[in-house]
Structure 1
Amino acid sequence: MNFGPPLTTRETPAQRAQGELILGFKRLGAVTKIDTLFQQGALKARLPRPQDPTLCEAVTLNISGGVAGGDALDTMVTLAPGAQLALASQAAERIYRTPGPAARIRTRLIVQEGARLDYLPQETILFDRFALDRELDIDLQGDAEFVGVETLLFGRQAMGEIVQSGSLRDRIRLRHDGRLVFQDATRLEGGIAAQLQRRTVADGARAVAGLIIAGPEAAHKLDSLRAVLNAAPGIVAGASAFDNMIFARLLAPDGASLRQCLISALEACRERRKLPRVWQG
C-alpha cells in the first residue's frame, strides 16, 4: 500500500465588502435636485419622493447586509450653495464580530454657504467582539446649517445580547471655513461591558448618541433642546453651545428610549420639519 503526502488545504480568505458613494446636490429655483451620483460596491442611494418640495431626501443602503472586519465603506456628500437635503440610512447598521482587522467607515459631508443638511443615519448596532474604525468629517462654509446625529447601541437588549469585548475608534470633526471648531473622539478597547459601567464612561448605559446643531442661529435652540432632553424619562444628557454650534451627548438604558428622545429633539431643533420616512416606522 502506498501512502502519499497528506493533502493540504488552503483557507479561503473571507470576502471583504467595499463600497463608495458620492452624492452631490444643487439648488434649482425653489427645489433641490441631485447633481452627482456615483455608487460602487456595497453602498447605494435612493431618492424617495420628498415630503416637502423644497427639501430633497436621500436614503443610503449597505447591500452587504452588515459590516464585518476588513470592510471599507466611503461616502462623500456635497451640497452646493442653497441646497437643502435630509440624508438618512435605510436601516440600522450592524457591526459584526471579527477576529481580524477592524471595519473602516469614512464619511465626509461638505455643506456650502446657504445650504442646509440634516444628517440622520439610523442606529449603529455593535455586536460582541466587534472592531470598528469610523470617521465623520463635516465641512461647513459661510452661513451653512447642519443638524446631525450618530447613535451607538452596544448589543440588542431585547435579544439579551451583551457586548463583552470589542474595539471602537470613533472620531467626529467639524470645520467651519476650514477652521476646526469641534472634535469628538471615542476609543474603547478590550472589556467593553466593564468600561460602560464606569461612571465617567457611560454609567451603565447601553445606548449612546451625539447630536450636533450648527449654523448662525444654532445657539438660540439650546433652551428648547435642553427642555426636551430634561423631560425624557430614563435619559441622561447634556448640551452645550459654542462657536455657532450645539453639541449634546445622550445616554440611555436601551435603544428604544434613546430613539424616542432623539425624535423629539430632532423635531424641536429642525423647525418641525418632518423626519424622513425611514425614521417614522
Structure 2
Amino acid sequence: MAQSGRWGRAELFFRRRGPRTILHRNYTTLPAQVIRPFYWEGSGRAYLYLLTPTGGMLGGDRLDIHIVLGPHAQVCLTTASATKVHPSTAASAEQSLAIELGPGSSLEYLPEPTILFHAAHWWQRTVVRRAVDSRLLLLEGWSAGRVAQHEVFQFSSLETTIEVYTEERLSLFDRMRICPAAYPYQALGLWEGRPHLLTMYLLQETHPVDVWLRAIQEELSADLVLAGVSRLEAPGIAARVLAGEAETLTRVTQTLWQKIREGLWGEPWNPWRKL
C-alpha cells in the first residue's frame, strides 16, 4: 500500500537478567514511544506502556511494532489510552504487529480499544511466532465509533488479521472485515446494538481444564454482555465479547485477565491503574 502519512516504529527486545526481565534494546519513532519498564509484583515481570502521543491515526499513517522475548522473559504491555482512528477520504491508517516468543517466555499484550471515527479506514495485521512452551495472552478491542456522540457504525472499513505460528506451524488464523455501509451490523443476530467488541486469545503449552473453562463461561453469561469462550485446536482459548458500554468491556477484560493469571497460571494478579 502506498505510504502518504507518518510512519512510526517500535522495536522492543526483552531478555531475562537474573530474576528480572529487562528491555535489552529498543528503538522508536513517532507516533510511537515507550515508557521505561517498571516492576511491582516481585515476580520480575516487566510492565510497560506503549504510547502514541500524537492524538490518533490519520489516513496514510502506519505504525509497525516488533516485540521479541528471549527465553523465560516475562512482559506485560499495554497502551496508556485508546487508539483513535480519524476520518480519511480513501487511505487506511495501518498497524503491523510482529511478536516473537522464545522458550518459556510469557507475553500479555493488552492494549486499550481502538475507536473508529466517522469515515475512518483501519487495517491491522498481527503475526506471532512462538515456542511451544511460551505463553501468549493477546487482546484486541474495538469501539464502533464515538458512542457518546451517537456516532456508531459510521466508520468506512475495519480489516484485521491475526496469525499465530507455534514452532513454525499455523496454530491460529482469524480475519475480520467490516464495512458498515454494506451490511446492517446492528441487526438482530449480529452486534445487536452493542458497539464494543473484545477478542482475547490465550495460547500456552497445555489446554485449560474443563472446570476452569466452564466457570469462565458461567461468569460471563451472568454479565450484561454477549460472550463466548471456546477451546482452540492448539492449547488455549478464544473469547469474544460484545458489550453496550465501554466500562462493561473493561470489567470483562479485567475478569478474564485475573482468571487466567490466578486460575491457570497460579500467579498473583493486581488491577493495573492507567496513567
Look up the match of 1:206: 195
Contact kept, 8 Å, 2:71 with 2:103, in 1: the verdict is yes
Instruction: Check the 8 A contact 1:57/1:276 in 2, yes or no.
Output: no
1:242-281 correspondence to structure 2 within 5 Å: 242=232, 243-271=234-262, 272-278=268-274
Give the match for residue 89 of structure 1.
79
Q: CA 1:65 to 1:215, structure 2 compared with 1: closer, same or farther past 3 Å?
A: same
Contact 1:20 / 1:74 at 8 angstroms: preserved in 2? yes
2:4, 2:132 → 1: CA distance?
43
Identity among equivalent pairs (%): 23
- Contact 1:225–1:269 at 8 Å: present in 2 too? no
Specify the alignment match of 1:138 in structure 2: 128
Which segment is superposed worse, 237-246 or 76-85? 237-246
Instruction: Decide whether aligned partners of structure 1 residues 228 and 138 sit closer, same or farther in structure 2, where only a CA change above 3 A counts.
Output: farther
CA shift for structure 1 position 263: 1.1
Partner of 2:219, secondary structure, is helix
CA contact (8 A) 2:132 2:205 kept: no
Residue in structure 2 matched with residue 23 of structure 1 by the alignment: 12
> If the length of structure 2 is used for normalisation, what is the TM-score?
0.90
Deviation at 1:93, TM superposition (A): 0.5
The separation in 1 between residues aligned to 2:106 and 2:85, in whole angstroms, is: 29
TM-score, normalised to structure 1, is 0.88
Q: Measure the CA separation in 1 of the matches of 2:138 and 2:272.
A: 13
User: Which range moved further: 173-182 or 197-206?
Assistant: 197-206
User: Which moves more between the two structures, 83-92 or 183-192?
Assistant: 183-192
Partner of 1:179: 169
Q: 1:7-22 to 2 correspondence within 5 Å?
A: 16-22=5-11
Q: Which residue of 2 aligns with 1:10?
A: none
Query: Which of 1 and 2 has greater Rg?
Result: 1
CA distance in 2, matches of 1:130, 1:200: 25
Partner of 2:38: 49
CA contact (8 A) 1:88 1:276 kept: no
What is the deviation of 1:48?
Answer: 4.2
**Matched residue count:** 264
The correspondence for 1:38, drawn from 27, 30, 48, is: 27
Greater Cα offset, 214-223 or 77-86 = 214-223
Contact 1:22 1:38 in 2 (8 A): yes
Q: Distance in 1 between matches of 2:225 and 2:180?
A: 26
CA distance in 2 between counterparts of 1:225 and 1:217 reads 17
1:222 aligns with 2:218: no
Q: d(CA) in 2 for partners of 1:77 and 1:246?
A: 22
- The one-letter code of the counterpart of 2:195 is R
**How many angstroms does 1:190 deviate by?**
4.6
CA distance in 2, matches of 1:275, 1:216: 25
Q: Partner residue of 2:156?
A: 166
Q: For residue 85 of structure 1, what is the amino acid of its counterpart? A: V
Q: Alpha-carbon deviations, 1:84-125, whole Å to 9, x = none?
A: 000101111001111121111101111111000011101111
Q: 2:88 aligns with which of 91, 95, 98?
A: 98
Corresponding residue for residue 8 of structure 1: none
Task: Give the deviation of 1:157 after TM superposition.
Answer: 2.0
RMSD over aligned CA atoms reads 1.9
Q: CA deviation at 1:169?
A: 0.7
1:172, distance to aligned residue in structure 2 (A): 1.1
Corresponding residue of 2:265 = none
AA aligned to 2:63 is: L
For 1:222 and 1:135, the matched residues in 2 are separated by 28
Is the contact between residue 23 and residue 37 of structure 2 (CA under 8 Å) also seen in structure 1?
no
Flag structure 1 segments of 5+ consecutive residues without an equivalent: 1-13
Does the C-alpha gap of structure 1 residues 106 and 275 become closer, same or farther in structure 2, counting only changes over 3 Å? farther
Conservation of the 8 A alpha-carbon contact between 2:48 and 2:78: yes
Separation (CA, whole Å) in 2 of partners of 1:277 and 1:76: 25
